[in-house]
Structure 1
């Protein structure tokens, strides 16, 4: 049977064992979120030996050359020595600069990294609170904000959201991997209609992308739709409406599940040049996407980022 080694510890595992399970079941607390190769919270570095990897394309060539792998996507097929991601050693330090509630269930966390972080609106960043990690989309805009902003959905219990509730200004937190994600603003869309459809805290990254579009003086119409559990959870309604009051080409629509069947059925494209960006839970993103395709939106003009539940 192949042997798995972490530091001075070593033990035997069954051939073909999932690497994440083999580590966690033997006392190595490797965090994970999606188990689908998307969140990148379960990064480990292979020092000797190679696992069988079902998602070699999930990491950059540079990361793979350095031995980094996603434990959830690997099987142990030979003796393997790994280094688990240590946020104190491998992570980048940051400090909590602000923490407040935007609604009863949405916590806004603002961090100031010790060293400036180069990022774009729509990207994801893995956050570490102690030994608890989870990826979150950035809601800030690097050209205008000196902090990194995240909108954390605390409706359901979760290891990171529970830890985030206890954070105070001045507390330290560690930053893990920065990822591209599917969402971004492209200057080539300057004249085209832009639709931003968000569910829940999927509004966070789209808020950053909206600000990017306005900063670049987007000339096409911009339609923002936010689907929330109830009216009280339209947590950015006031700043969005304030933006719309000064931009004739910007419209804001606030939806709830009770509205969804009717409002979705009424979605009509004003142009086949429309560019649509979707973000939120998988069910909401799928519902938005299906309706847009039925309305005639070309598939290559839709970008979607679905927040995967913890696997």
Structure 2
């Protein structure tokens, strides 16, 4: 059986075993979340030997050349040595400058990194607490306008990071992991096309950044912003969105609640087959949105989606 070296230990595992499962079974702490190769919480660096990687495209070429792999997507097929991502060694230090509640369940977190971070509207970033609790969150800030990094933390359903976030205070420190995500973005070539931004819950965070980026680039087409929440009190960016709609005549804001969703979807009509739709939120909500857009006649190639996967651990 292959030997797996990690955390200064040697573990014998059956050939073909999942790397993440093998590490966890041996008591080696590895953060993980989605188990689908999306969140990148389970990053490890392969320093000797090689792994069978089921999803090599999940990491860019530069990361792979440095030896980084996603433990949830790899199987141990031969002797191998790995290093678990260490936020103290591999992460970027950041300081919380403010944390305030936008609603009963959504915490707005603003922080400044120790060194400048190059990012685009729509991307997401791995956040680590000092206790090595990790979770990816989308950026709601805009690099051209904001001097901080902003995140909207949904604390409604708990989870280790959300629970820790409730105790955050200004001046507390965090570590930043991998920056990724390209599905949600603004393309200047879309400037005259209708743009639909459809969000569920805190899926609104990256789309709020994309909206501001589109307006910064003087988008000329109509922009329709739809936010789905469990009730009216959960429309946590209602006022900022209404303010943008009041300032930009091409922006239309619709605030939907779950009980009204079937009726609202039934009335959804395309004004143009040139529409571009950006979707973000829980997978179930995105599936519902996508199905209705398809039935309305929108080509799948014009739908860009980023699902907020539930915590698997």
TM-score by length of 2: 0.98
Query: What does 1:9-28 align with in structure 2 at a 5 Å threshold?
Result: 9-28=9-28
Residue number in structure 2 paired with 1:103: 103
Q: Deviations over 1:173-194 (max 9, x none)?
A: 0000000231000001111111
Q: State the shift of 1:14 in Å.
A: 1.5
Query: What does 1:1-311 align with in structure 2 at a 5 Å threshold?
Result: 1-130=1-130, 131-311=132-312
Flag as ranges the 4+ runs of structure 1 deviating above 3 A: none
TM-score by length of 1: 0.99
Determine helix, strand or coil for the equivalent of 2:311. coil
**Unaligned 5+ runs, structure 1:** none
Q: State the shift of 1:28 in Å.
A: 1.4
Determine helix, strand or coil for the equivalent of 1:96. strand
The 1-side partners of 2:215 and 2:69 are apart by: 38
The root-mean-square deviation of aligned C-alpha atoms, in Å, is 0.8
Q: Deviations over 1:172-228 (max 9, x none)?
A: 100000002310000011111111000000000000000001111111111000000
Q: State the shift of 1:86 in Å.
A: 0.3
The 2-side partners of 1:82 and 1:115 are apart by: 28
Q: Deviations over 1:217-260 (max 9, x none)?
A: 11111100000010000000001001111111111000001110
Determine helix, strand or coil for the equivalent of 2:153. strand
Q: How many residues align?
A: 311
Q: Deviations over 1:36-66 (max 9, x none)?
A: 0001110000111111110011111121111
Q: State the shift of 1:138 in Å.
A: 0.5
**Unaligned 5+ runs, structure 2:** none
- Does the aligned pair in 1 maintain the 2:3–2:80 contact within 8 Å? yes
The 2-side partners of 1:239 and 1:223 are apart by: 15
